[in-house]
Amino acid sequence: VSDWWEEYIYLRGRGPIMVNSNYFAMDFLYLSPTTLQAARAGNIIHAILLYRKKLDRQEIKPILLMGSTVPLCSAQWERMFNTSRIPGEESDTLQHVKDSKHIVVYHKGRYFKVWLYHDGRLLKPREIEQQMQRILDDDSEPQAGEEKLAALTAGDRVPWAKARQTYFIRGKNKQSLDAIEKAAFFVTLDDIEQGYREEDPVRSLDAYAKSLIHGRCYDRWFDKTFTLIVFKNGRIGLNAEHSWADAPIVGHLWENAMATECLELGYSEDGHCRGDTNQNIPVPTKLQWEIPEECQEVIERSLSTAIALADDVDFHSFFFDAFGKGLIKKAKTSPDAFVQLALQLAHYRDMGKFSLTYEASMTRLFREGRTETVRSCTVESCNFVRSMEDPTESTENTLKFFRLAAAKHQHLYRLAMTGAGIDRHLFCLYVVSKYLAVDSPFLKEVLSEPWRLSTSQTPQQHIDLKKNPEMLSCGGGFGPVADDGYGVSYIILGENAIHFHVSSKISCSETDSHRFGKNIQKAMVDIMGLFNLSKNCTK
């Protein structure tokens, strides 16, 4: 299924990939290792490159299923680095080069090429910091059309494909675009501050999420496998393209890099990377462009499309710490089933109806497996929700409905993971029906039903929160899948907390991400209230 999935679901999509397909990962919630932008960039870039080195040497062991001896497929790691999505008129392609010795950095409208090696070795963190500082200190103006160039990667795919064919296939434009597309990855040194602020937790996290998912629409290269974003105050994040891999793969890189940065590389007392600067390293070079006016017009049109899309994203990112996995397990329930049923209850209260729900599960028990859908809105979950909302229903009965719904959810999840799901099967039948020119009203109907609630759990894979409780991360999120629906991503953090990311569209009068967020928190607490457990919810 995977090659068809990659092509038809991702690469053939002709609309913007920003917001609709790309997703993001956040920094630690509270921990701020340094406030120096160049230093944070130096360490995190070095840590990512150490991960790449391990990957190239095949030293990253396959992930084992739930601590067992069953390995998951590692194929998705192959195109993590030195890769870019290339626009085409009918379909995009993924271009991967074997090795890349540079990155491209965007700062205040200019693009810089930064070599990662000097004297035949990888640059040390302090040396990368020095290179980043040189870019921050460079006050040259962007060239004509350069500042907003990346808006081409944020708008519709066809105008970008045509512009690339017309203006970027020769001369310095080709050379510069080549540098971006063949870079190990892309880096943005953002000139604004972002991240969680204690004095304004709600607005700061929401703005941070929006910045990571779309930014200004021209300061992230949305076609690169990932863009590393380093903010002015030293907070960081990632924006990732979706066709080459699913979120757990990016999450593994991200957790490893952040653990390396904090636990191994560290910072000096004044916030700089450890080690010494090196004046022998050549200064980063500016990429050269000759962007004609008609191309600048295409850039502006792409930007208008992207801004309209970005301005319509209603994002709410919040930390739930009334309880977590610890208490849910005391209730003898699977944490994922608990959260999914809370989402069903919250959604019913929010919208007054049940909706087709998508939960992504992984199929990496199989070679080249990607995802399968768990349809979490079931007859059993609806019975439970109605029982919760019926004041005449006894707690005992509601609890019985909860147990049935949770068991059903776990059963569906297991089926999906073990290749017995239905959605990828239907998708393949649809592809074959198109190929054979056989019309199937059933497949047409089933595959055009909108997922009004699209959900995904991000796994916590590497950082040990028992040993390093301060290294609490917020996970990441994605945009709404339906115009009149919600996207919900959540990460179960240690024993006592869960972070949620809720997205919807402002243009839809029925949805409201903050209202849904409140409904999620209330549903979580209300369901836990069914169980007489000693640790009461704190909020």
| DSSP states of 160-191 | HHHHHHHHSSSHHHHHHHHHHHTSS-EEEE-S
d(CA 124, CA 117): 9
Residue 538 predicted with pLDDT over 90: no
Question: How high is the pLDDT of residue 65?
Answer: 85
d(CA 538, CA 528): 12
Joined together, the tokens standing for residue 380 give 């059993």
Flag whether 507 is in a domain.
yes
Q: Average model confidence (pLDDT) for the chain?
A: 96
Flag whether 158 is in a domain.
yes
* Single residue among 263, 293, 313 that ends a domain in this structure: 313
Question: How high is the pLDDT of residue 290?
Answer: 98
Which pLDDT tens digit goes with each residue over 319-368? 999 999 999 999 999 999 999 999 999 999 999 999 999 999 999 999 99
Q: What is the mean pLDDT of residues 73-80?
A: 98
Which pLDDT tens digit goes with each residue over 422-447? 999 999 999 999 999 999 999 999 99
Question: How high is the pLDDT of residue 76?
Answer: 98
Q: Exposure pattern of 318-327 as b/e (b: 16+ CB <10 Å)?
A: bbbebbbbeb
Are 275 and 107 in contact, with CB atoms under 8 Å apart?
A: no
CATH number of domain containing 515? 3.30.559.10
Flag whether 293 is in a domain.
yes
Joined together, the tokens standing for residue 69 give 């001896």
What proportion of the chain, given as a percentage, has pLDDT over 70? 99
**Exposed / middle / buried, residue 294 (Cβ in 10 Å: 0-12, 13-18, 19+):** exposed
Q: Indicate if 139 and 233 belong to the same structural domain.
A: yes
Q: Indicate if 326 and 454 belong to the same structural domain.
A: yes
Q: Indicate if 351 and 296 belong to the same structural domain.
A: no
Q: List the alpha helices (DSSP H) in 214-370.
A: 247-259, 293-311, 325-330, 335-351
d(CA 35, CA 233): 5
Residue 497 predicted with pLDDT over 60: yes
Are 417 and 361 in contact, with CB atoms under 8 Å apart?
A: yes
Q: Give the pairing type, strands 102-107 and 313-320.
A: unpaired
Q: Tell me phi and psi for residue 496, to 5 degrees.
A: -125, 10
d(CA 262, CA 409): 38
What's the predicted TM-score (pTM) here?
Answer: 0.96
Catalytic residue status for 242: yes
Q: Residue 273 pairs with which residues in a beta bridge?
A: 267
Residue 160 predicted with pLDDT over 90: yes
Which pLDDT tens digit goes with each residue over 216-241? 999 999 999 999 999 999 999 999 99
Question: How high is the pLDDT of residue 464?
Answer: 84
Which pLDDT tens digit goes with each residue over 54-63? 999 999 999 9
Which pLDDT tens digit goes with each residue over 15-41? 999 999 999 999 999 999 999 999 999
Q: Indicate if 270 and 390 belong to the same structural domain.
A: no
Q: Indicate if 305 and 343 belong to the same structural domain.
A: no
d(CA 465, CA 399): 31
Flag whether 265 is in a domain.
yes
Helical pair 513-528 and 335-351, crossing angle rounded to 10 deg: 130
* Single residue among 290, 313, 336 that ends a domain in this structure: 313
Q: Indicate if 258 and 335 belong to the same structural domain.
A: no
Are 466 and 460 in contact, with CB atoms under 8 Å apart?
A: no
Residue 534 predicted with pLDDT over 60: no
DSSP 216: T
Q: Indicate if 278 and 389 belong to the same structural domain.
A: no
Residue 535 confidence class, pLDDT cut points 50, 70, 90: low
Flag whether 493 is in a domain.
yes
DSSP 223: T
d(CA 106, CA 91): 27
Q: Exposure pattern of 348-365 as b/e (b: 16+ CB <10 Å)?
A: bbbbeebbebbbbbbbbe
Are 275 and 266 in contact, with CB atoms under 8 Å apart?
A: no
Q: Give the pairing type, strands 313-320 and 117-118.
A: unpaired
- Residue recorded with tokens 């994040």: 237
Q: What is the mean pLDDT of residues 387-408?
A: 97
Question: How high is the pLDDT of residue 408?
Answer: 98
Residue 539 predicted with pLDDT over 50: no
Q: What is the domain count for the chain? A: 2
Q: Indicate if 177 and 325 belong to the same structural domain.
A: no
CATH number of domain containing 213? 3.30.559.70
What proportion of the chain, given as a percentage, has pLDDT over 90? 94
Please name which of 253, 243, 246, 251 lies closest in space to residue 223, comparing C-alpha atoms: 243
d(CA 422, CA 376): 13
Joined together, the tokens standing for residue 346 give 């919250």
Q: Indicate if 121 and 263 belong to the same structural domain.
A: yes
Question: How high is the pLDDT of residue 372?
Answer: 98
Counting every residue, how long is the chain?
A: 539
Which pLDDT tens digit goes with each residue over 259-315? 999 999 999 999 999 999 999 999 999 999 999 999 999 999 999 999 999 999 999
d(CA 292, CA 278): 39
Domain containing 412: what range? 321-418+450-530
Flag whether 443 is in a domain.
no
* Single residue among 265, 285, 313 that ends a domain in this structure: 313
Q: Indicate if 220 and 354 belong to the same structural domain.
A: no
Residue 513 predicted with pLDDT over 80: yes
Radius of gyration in angstroms for the set of CA atoms belonging to the chain, rounded to a whole number: 24
Q: How far is CA 1 from the centre of its chain?
A: 22
Catalytic option among 242, 347, 499, 501: 242
Q: Indicate if 53 and 179 belong to the same structural domain.
A: yes
Flag whether 508 is in a domain.
yes
Q: Indicate if 305 and 389 belong to the same structural domain.
A: no
CA distances, 528 to each of 170, 349, 531 (Å) = 63, 17, 6
Flag whether 18 is in a domain.
no
